[in-house]
Amino acid sequence: MSPVKIIRHRTLESCVAAYLGKSVKNLPRRGYWSCYDRKGRSRRYLMSCTLRKWRKLGCWGWVQHRQRRIHLWIAPHAAFAEVVILLAHELGHLSSKRINRPAGVEERKANLFERVTEKALALAETLMPKENP
């Protein structure tokens, strides 16, 4: 896999604004966030709910495919496993050429990396020796 550049954002708003190509000041607070669910189906959520969910999770990211950049926001309260899963998702996007059609296929590709990582983390949890069995 070719090298990847990580762009860390200090705030969620900065990361989202960069994704939307807007300044933080002009970040839309209302309206909807369009995305794809795990099965690649198109979804729309209220922007305010979406930002609240990501803020609670403590991490969010997106990729600039051609430039091989991963934009990330990671809050101090983010769980290590969530950050690993986020990175797996974004690296999944960069694992091969971008799939633009049909809509949602590219997201399903990245979601597969995410699910494999979730399984690996859960399995590792059961396999790791306990300090005090």
Residues lying near Zn ion in the complex (CB under 5 A) are found at 110
Measure Cα distances from 132 to 120, 127, 129 in Å: 23, 14, 9
Cβ-based nearer residue to Zn ion, 17 or 104: 104
Q: How far is the CB of 2 from Zn ion (least distance, A)?
A: 18
- Which residue number has the CB closest to Zn ion? 110
Rounded to a whole number of angstroms, the minimum distance from the CB of residue 118 to Zn ion is 15
Query: What is the smallest separation between the CB atom of 43 and Zn ion, expressed in angstroms?
Result: 12
